[in-house]
Structure 1
Amino acid sequence: MTLIISAATWDKELKSGMRQAELILLAREAGCAGVEFRPYWQDIEEEIPLIREVLRQHNMVCAYASNEALLAGSRQETLQAIASLKTGVQLADRLGAKVLRFNVASGAFDSSLVHTSWWVEAMNQVLELAKSLGIVLAVENGPDAQKGNPEVFKEIFAVLPELGLTYDTGNWLYANTKPEVALEWFLSQVGYVHLKDIICENGSLKHGHPGTGLVDVKGLKERIQASGYTGLLALEFPGGDKPLERVFKSLAYLG
């Protein structure tokens, strides 16, 4: 299986001065195939060439998880968001990323906009650019009721069937949806995978590493792979004070 580690797991360290290039050797130590980078840049023009070189030296791959989105609350805001998404594709290409993961929206949004001709045209332009660069575009089911609403994804994929899904094993629970049911609905759209668990504490849900919570992460991973999926799967969860230890525990659980 092509497992990579996510920069999100080292959130604390990266916000305290760690450079993302350091994650490449940590991925190698864990026996993983690469890294999911994120916008933790300190000096992007210096870091990207270094990342590409270290990835090349160790024959590793990467994905890029951006903060861009495909919807907002109005036509003007949505077109601005899609323009930023196009820039995200170009950044992913500079990294040599195989996948660009992005969000449904960064705030309030109007899902009916996916049925407008201008939205479809704008998104098709981004999809064509990504295809020309060999990058999979994959929108993620977010960790809340609105951005993880499966009905929104059904609308999006009905209009843009060539768009991929970043299937997050845990986030569906925030939208009161069983991950297994969501997988049945969207298996053919999966273009990237986030492996995380969800823990319930005092009636509230929070992210956890695989094997610690409510989600059958191992079973979902196996179902995805049995379908013929050959893309990347990222270990993506809070690392706390022991991120690498949690990565190793996740790997042991996943087998």
Structure 2
Amino acid sequence: MQLNQISRTDDLPDVVIVASAFGADQIRRDGHAVWAAAAARAGANGFEVRRELFASDDDSQPAALARLGERIRAQGLWAVYSTPATLFRDDGALDMDALRLAIDEAAALGAHIVKLQLGGMHSGVATDAATLDRLITGVAASKARVVVENGQLQAGGTIDAFETLFAALPTGESDGRLTMTFDTGNWLWAGQDPLDAAKRLSRHVSYVHCKSVMGEGARRFAAAPANGDTRFATLLAHLPGAMPRGIEYPFISGPDASLDADAARQVARIAAF
């Protein structure tokens, strides 16, 4: 799949609404398809399905995923499939079973991107030749772009872990290569500098999760970037401008604006940031 298949033809990036932005409880109650329609009304280009928000294991079966994919496409959206599974196990070894399952489920959905967490140990992940060969072969079997995301833990959330892995992989512009989802906020949970991460990892990024972070320590939470947030704007400026941007902070309804209205406002803001 060529990345330009999921990029806008104008000078603005595609905007994806991550299902959880509408609220985890609402997604589990109503199902993803209902809220994919809300994403379309908000003017989004894509919708990210979250495996952990399925109401039951039945939702992850191939036939159910195929029906969901059809409903997403009927709204004029393309799909991202996100799983909380990690590409590497706690001992740093590659988890081929997790990779194959994620790829198979994304294929049933008809997703353009399939996203896993990096995982691994605090010190990183295995990068020996045999592991890399298995990883490259597994990623190449996917019709969807395979990406790994920086998580909120030190294991799978450090700049060095990503830099070491990508340095070990073959370079090139092949559509089958492994790339990353750059989560603008998760770095802070892992004690990393997001701007340093952007400077060091930008060339490996094919999808951006957008959020600001409020609070400190364990009391951190995701929030919309403030108007005029120069730090957030600077961070995005160091990342590939044409890559899709996912909204992964909660939409807020109130007396002056509905959830739909806030979603539409945030889609426009993130596209233009």
Report the TM-score range of the alignment, normalised by the length of the smaller protein. 0.7 to 0.9
Question: Which residue of 3, 14, 26 corresponds with 1:13?
Answer: 26
Partner of residue 64, structure 1: 81
Task: Indicate whether 1:153 and 2:162 are aligned.
Answer: yes
Deviation at residue 57 of structure 1 after TM alignment: 2.4
Which whole-Å CA distance do the structure 1 matches of 2:265 and 2:153 have between them?
26
TM-score, normalised with respect to structure 2: 0.77
Which whole-Å CA distance do the structure 2 matches of 1:187 and 1:63 have between them?
20
Matched residue type, 1:72: R
Measured on the aligned residues, the alpha-carbon RMSD in Å equals 2.8
Question: Which residue of 117, 121, 133 corresponds with 1:121?
Answer: 133
> What pairs with 1:182-193 in structure 2 (closer than 5 Å)?
182-193=197-208
Question: Which residue of 196, 212, 230 corresponds with 1:181?
Answer: 196
Secondary structure (helix, strand or coil) at the match of 1:35 reads strand
Which whole-Å CA distance do the structure 2 matches of 1:147 and 1:215 have between them?
27
Aligned length: 243
Secondary structure (helix, strand or coil) at the match of 2:226 reads coil
Aligned CA distance change for structure 1 residues 116 and 20 (closer, same or farther; 3 Å): same
Matched residue type, 2:19: A
Deviation at residue 7 of structure 1 after TM alignment: 1.4
Partner of residue 263, structure 2: 247
Q: Which runs of 5+ in 1 are unaligned?
A: none
Which whole-Å CA distance do the structure 1 matches of 2:96 and 2:227 have between them?
36
> What pairs with 1:36-55 in structure 2 (closer than 5 Å)?
36-39=48-51, 40-41=53-54, 42=56, 43-44=58-59, 45=61, 47-55=64-72
Secondary structure (helix, strand or coil) at the match of 1:97 reads coil
Any conservation in 2 of the 1:70–1:103 contact (CA below 8 Å)? yes
Matched residue type, 2:111: A
Any conservation in 2 of the 1:100–1:137 contact (CA below 8 Å)? yes
Deviation at residue 203 of structure 1 after TM alignment: 7.9
Q: In percent, how many aligned pairs have the same letter? A: 22
Partner of residue 111, structure 2: 97
Matched residue type, 1:86: R
Deviation at residue 150 of structure 1 after TM alignment: 0.6
Aligned CA distance change for structure 1 residues 112 and 186 (closer, same or farther; 3 Å): closer
Aligned CA distance change for structure 1 residues 112 and 13 (closer, same or farther; 3 Å): closer
Deviation at residue 122 of structure 1 after TM alignment: 2.2
Matched residue type, 1:88: A
Q: CA offsets, 1:163-206, max 9 Å, x none? A: 20100111112233322221111111002110111112588422
Which whole-Å CA distance do the structure 2 matches of 1:22 and 1:113 have between them?
38
Question: Which residue of 102, 123, 126 corresponds with 1:88?
Answer: 102
